[in-house]
């Protein structure tokens, strides 16, 4: 198994569980905002094969506010 596969899978799982929690009645959305950003930033490099060959994360359309 590649060295980052387990970390990547665990972090993606936590993000998914957090999304489910956010949809629950009474969820603490301040908690969701804080933790989701932390989890997203902590994602390691995706394991090989997650994206198609030639995928360029910077090749998409400009984000709002980009020039």
pTM > 0.85: yes or no: no
**Cβ count near 43 (within 10 Å):** 13
**pLDDT, tens digit, 9 for 90 and up, residues 33-67:** 999 888 888 877 776 777 777 777 777 777 677 66
Element (H, E) at 20: helix 5-22
Whether 47 contacts 5, CB under 8 Å: yes
Contacts of 2 (CB under 8 A, 6+ apart): 47, 48
- How distant, in Å, are the alpha carbons of 2, 20, 28, 36 from that of 47? 7, 24, 32, 21
């Amino acid at each position: 198994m590649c060295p980052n596969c387990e970390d990547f899978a665990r972090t993606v799982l936590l993000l998914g569980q957090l999304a489910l929690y956010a949809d629950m009645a009474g969820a603490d959305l301040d908690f969701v905002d804080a933790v989701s950003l932390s989890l997203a930033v902590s994602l390691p490099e995706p394991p090989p094969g997650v994206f198609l060959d030639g995928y360029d994360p910077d090749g998409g359309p400009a984000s709002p506010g980009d020039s």
